[in-house]
Structure 1
Amino acid sequence: MSQAAATSTRFTGRTAIVTGASRGIGLAIAERLVAEGAKVVITARRQEALDQAVAQLGPEHALGVAGHADDADHQAEVVARAVDTFGSVDLLVNNTGINPTYGPMVDMDLAAARKIFEVNCLAALAWVQQAYRRWMKEHGGAVVNVSSVAGLRPAPGIGFYGASKAMLTHLTQQLAVELGPDIRVNAVAPAVVKTKFATALYEGREEQVAGAYPLKRLGVPDDIGSVVAFLLSEDAAWMTGQLLVIDGGVTLTGGV
């Protein structure tokens, strides 16, 4: 993390909810926000993993609440605990995403497709609704949705995942129109980032995969955390409904 990030206080007095944040991109986002003064409430399915992440972030700065991202009761609990513990819900990052299947969509189990839609799209909308009703409607705020370059063009093997991320991008734009001027809603679209979630995309052949990227490396979680923090901050005060592609240049060469 840069010295500038370590000394910035642009999120002092603000509280963020980051979903899917016990590790990987979500945890890197939470770390960046805490480093810049925020309090964070992080979510994931397992409390043990969240407890480890909170210890890393600092218990005085973070709270972990376990549950399923698409569960309405969990969503309501997280928002309520953020307000009760830290006093507000100023920032929301919808980072949770799943892709439990691989292969052509014509052979896809439709139950898996429904689950991907529920978690990657509908849950993101639900989290915005919860934060809006409890805090942001009266106080304003900023939202960032974590999409994917797979949503920009056909992605062999992960087609429905890509379709869900394309929908998430559209939801971002629609919410930006509906919630302005006091709530900004933006999105990021990472390419392959070195996380447990993406291991199958590069394990054992990282150099080969990275060779297609003009910057000649895969992403790391901090690459995403820094851009998300920018979009949540007042440095991006005149940006809403935007999708920032964070991809090491790979989409310039036709890759996903």
Structure 2
Amino acid sequence: MTGLDLTGRTAIVTGASRGIGLSIAQALATAGANVVLTARTQESADAAADLIVGTAIGVGAHVVDEDAARHCVELTVRQFGSVDILINNAGTNPAYGPTIDQDHARFAKIFDVNLWAPVLWTSLVTRAWMGEHGGAVVNTASIGGLSLEPNIGLYNASKAALIHLTEQLAMELSPKIRVNAVAPGVVRTKLAEALWQEQERELSASTALDRIGEPDDVAAAVAFLASDAASWITGETMVIDGGQRLGDVAPFRGGATVGA
């Protein structure tokens, strides 16, 4: 599909030092894009950029630091001449347990990073380049934003809000800028360790495609949404979960022969 070719375009990926963000950066670079990877520190950003096969630089920019974010966007435009793709990937979840047991500091951190940062960065790239020239924004949400589960209620609420924000921005920024989201299931990342590390076998067995996700699974979908192959898609949230949201597959298997 020639529409997947990103040669000549430039992408910023927030929270790209590891996991899904790093895989997204590599997928975009493989498709031909210049990629700017952000992390909390310059050292982490540089280390991540050094892992990319392709044209990539690292920029230390905590996603909720407006001055750092503005510097990153301005540097990107100066160095590469454009900012055509923004991946709002940075996320956090310092809160675990019943929602009413959480404090305001945890609440504020989750919503600042998971919701305010995408607003901030989208605003900056729109004013710096995309508002005039067009572009694509992809937000990293979660299937938790589409369902209910114990102990991570604030995180899931922030992702539900991000899904709504994706639709809102798709309307407000049309027709120049497409805005979409991906909603991964449980993926093998450090952020999600509590969800899979001690129970990967059981989780895989209950998932339709019989495994948890890998960062590359999400990265491939993000690269598609950022490309011209998705040129008539906006305001959508693509679920990438191996069928986890369908529910426990075990009762459906039951030893029956396929096609019998």
In the alignment, does 2:221 pair up with 1:222?
A: no
Moved over 2 A (4+): 46-49
In the alignment, does 2:170 pair up with 1:161?
A: no
> 1:89 & 1:111 partners in 2: Cα distance?
33
Q: TM-score, normalised by structure 1?
A: 0.94
Q: Residue 116 of structure 2: SS of its match in structure 1?
A: helix
- Tell whether the 8 Å contact from 1:8 to 1:35 is kept in structure 2 after alignment: no
Aligned to 2:167: 173
- Tell whether the 8 Å contact from 1:17 to 1:41 is kept in structure 2 after alignment: yes
Q: Percent identity?
A: 53
> 2:28 & 2:49 partners in 1: Cα distance?
13
Unaligned runs of 5+ residues in structure 2 are 250-260
> 2:48 & 2:107 partners in 1: Cα distance?
30
Residue type of the alignment partner of 1:77: H
In the alignment, does 2:14 pair up with 1:32?
A: no
Q: TM-score, normalised by structure 2?
A: 0.92
What per-residue deviation string (whole Å, max 9, x for no partner) do you get for residues 128-152 of structure 1?
A: 0000000001100000000001111
- The total of aligned residue pairs comes to 249
- Tell whether the 8 Å contact from 1:9 to 1:37 is kept in structure 2 after alignment: no
Residue type of the alignment partner of 1:21: A
- Tell whether the 8 Å contact from 1:8 to 1:37 is kept in structure 2 after alignment: no
Candidates 142, 145, 159, aligned match of 1:148: 142
Which deviates the most, 192-201 or 23-32? 192-201
Matched ranges for 1:187-206 at <5 A: 187-206=181-200
Aligned to 2:111: 117
> 1:83 & 1:254 partners in 2: Cα distance?
47
- Tell whether the 8 Å contact from 1:8 to 1:36 is kept in structure 2 after alignment: no
Residue type of the alignment partner of 2:198: G
In the alignment, does 2:9 pair up with 1:14?
A: yes
Candidates 135, 139, 144, aligned match of 2:129: 135
> 2:160 & 2:42 partners in 1: Cα distance?
30
Residue type of the alignment partner of 2:214: V
Residue type of the alignment partner of 2:26: E
Aligned to 2:38: 43
Q: Aligned in 2, Cα 1:9/1:189: closer, same or farther, shift over 3 Å?
A: closer
Matched ranges for 1:51-70 at <5 A: 51-58=46-53, 61-70=55-64
> 2:3 & 2:43 partners in 1: Cα distance?
30
Candidates 158, 179, 182, aligned match of 1:185: 179
> 1:22 & 1:10 partners in 2: Cα distance?
24
In the alignment, does 2:78 pair up with 1:84?
A: yes
RMSD: 1.6
Residue type of the alignment partner of 2:67: D
Aligned to 1:210: 204
Q: Residue 150 of structure 2: SS of its match in structure 1?
A: coil
